[in-house]
Amino acid sequence: MNIATRTLFEVQETTLLAAGAARRLFRRPSYINEMIQQMDAIGVGSLPIIILTGFFTGGVLALQSYPTLKYYGAQDQTGMLVATSMVRELGPVLTGLMIAGRVGSAISAELGSMVVSQQIDAMRALGTDPVRKLVAPRLIALLVTMPLLTLIADAVGIGGGWIVSSQLFGITSSAFSSAVWRGLTTEDVFGGFVKSFVFAFIIGAISCRQGLKTEGGTVGVGRSTTTAVVASSIVLIVADFFITKMLQVILDTV
């Protein structure tokens, strides 16, 4: 099987897995407690790394952009540049990459360990649907928490840009905040949320698929984990380009 055929096969199987999980959401049992536990592990557990990444990303944006803006006499627009960069692009993408590395690897490793230890087979023997119990709660948890984490990353990133701008470059808080509000639009926020939803679906579907197809014992678990993180990150970046272009076309015609 060549690489093109194998890639198409993986896309097909991953899509079918996600579609099966979506269909099973409307059947009993619904595993609400499992969903809440996953939201806590994904959302609350990822807060420190998201806050840290967002804060220093916003700070670096202000640090790098201020000298160039000052050259053109537009240093008061630093807040606009930081805000639009974070909300449109860096917030959703960096949050997605952090979640792919932290959560995607954990999901793949957990499901892969259950496969090689035959826990999945035991669940099927007892009449429990692994897709409904294991895949669906993780997908829902990602779809709920990713937009919230992206919003936090955006806010913290803008805050980091404000601290750098005010403390290092002497830009007043009122000038920075007014530039932020001038730069942000409803379309920017909407686009960021759309990206975060799509990225959550990509990370959840690919990580669950790689975990459930694990074979080869503990070595296979490591291989599946690595594949899940790499594949999620690559697909996320590629999807970001097409989503951005699609949003530009749609929003320009509205």
Convert the pLDDT of each residue in 182-201 to its tens digit. Answer: 888 888 888 899 999 999 99
Rounded distance between C-alpha atoms, residue 43 and residue 34, angstroms: 14
pLDDT at 48: 93
Residue ranges of domains in the chain: 31-253
- Tell me the longest C-alpha to C-alpha distance in the chain: 70
Low-confidence stretches of the chain (pLDDT beneath 50): none
pLDDT at 95: 94
From residue 160, give the alpha-carbon distance in Å to each of 156, 178, 188: 6, 16, 19
Rounded distance between C-alpha atoms, residue 94 and residue 75, angstroms: 26
Using only C-alpha atoms, the chain has a radius of gyration, in whole angstroms, of 21
From residue 48, give the alpha-carbon distance in Å to each of 69, 138, 193: 31, 20, 21
Convert the pLDDT of each residue in 4-54 to its tens digit. Answer: 777 787 778 788 877 777 776 666 767 788 888 989 989 888 999 999 999
Predicted TM-score (pTM) above 0.75: yes
Contact 38, 138 (CB under 8 A): yes
pLDDT at 156: 95
